[in-house]
Amino acid sequence: MLKAIVTDMLKPVAPEEAILRQNGVSLVYGDCKTEIELVELTQDADAIIDVYARLSAKVINSLKRCQVIVRRGIGYDSIDIKAATAKGIPVANVRDYCIDEVADHTITLLLCATRKVIKPREQVKSGGWDFKQFLPILSLGECTLGLVGFGKIPRAVARRAQCFDLKVETSDPFISDELAAEHGVKRVSLEKLLSTSDFVSVHVPLNDETRGMFTRREFAMMKPSAVFINTSRGPVVDEVALAEALHNGKIAFAALDVMTREPPTSDNPLRLMHNVIITPHLAWYSERSAKVVGEEAAQQIVQVFKGYFPKFLVNLEVSKLRTDLKWSD
């Protein structure tokens, strides 16, 4: 029987298990924390479903019969793509899930930051009742939301933001002015977006170009009243620079669903700052999205076992090596 291995998610992962077993594939669950554990777990894997574990070149080069690696999510920065390609292993992700969920969470963070939801709740719980402590509060119809990146998720954010009469701008070098305009959004430079936006929301993948893209320089360009929102990947932000900007009044507030290290260390100052909201990387989740991501991960494994490239192939170069696989219609 073929074997698929989940690197680091505890049971149950019901969508994967049901689909794989129906297709004659057993599923083994791991909870790997180290490279050594990953090497030991994946030795006889025919397929790997990666959640958060880092599949380094050492791990990938140790694989003996793996036919496909699927990242159970959109980002795939945890996988050494070059090593997988050199070994002839297709790598896939799941691109078309949690779009609405992340967009909803982004708008939720924006509203919580604007309407000062957290601190007033704490005040009332302790017996207080004085809205004046939380002024000023901006009118959204007078504000600009700047979206860094304009893929599927930020386009969904733009639709929601426009319902609140927010003016929406985007900075994305990979789209045209015309495409942005089709969504009622103006495309501007990153510098202009940072200097004019009341809310800056980040929606970029993590790669060599975006890692650490928000530094002291970028925060210094923003309005002192600006709110910084990140629901993409933690390492796109220099967290030391962010904490300094918040502490020194360079920006007013940060709302984060992702961190460079998850969970953040106890000495990370962002955890305790009064002008920061942090949620534990939950923007992607709903009962629906959890089901969809599992199903699509499993279905792509089955595709490869049946002789086809996976639906969302990341390393297209591997098609030159895997002549045994076909493209599905």
Q: In the prediction, which pLDDT does 141 show? A: 97
Q: Does domain 99-278 have CATH number 3.90.79.10?
A: no
Percent share of the chain, pLDDT over 70:
99
CA distances from 50 to 56, 67, 77, 294 (A): 12, 14, 11, 11
- In the numeric block, the tokens 């490869």 are attached to 304
Where do the domains of the chain lie?
Answer: 2-96+287-320, 99-278
Dig out the tokens for 152 from the structure.
Answer: 């599927």
Catalytic residue ranges: 233, 262, 281
pLDDT digits (tens, 9 = 90+) for 82-110: 999 999 999 999 999 999 999 999 999 99
Question: In this structure, is the dihedral angle defined by the CA atoms of residues 98, 30, 311 and 314, taken in order, positive or negative?
Answer: positive
CA distance 184 to 322: 43
Per-residue pLDDT, 75: 93
2-96+287-320 and 99-278 share one CATH topology? yes
Query: pLDDT (tens digit, 9 = 90+) per residue, 264-313?
Result: 999 999 999 999 999 999 999 999 999 999 999 999 999 999 999 999 99
| Architecture per CATH, 2-96+287-320 | 3-Layer(aba) Sandwich (3.40)
Q: How confident is the model at residue 9 (pLDDT cuts 50, 70, 90)?
A: confident
> Residue 329's pLDDT band (boundaries 50, 70, 90)?
confident
The position carrying tokens 């930051």 is 113
Q: What percent of the chain has pLDDT over 90?
A: 96
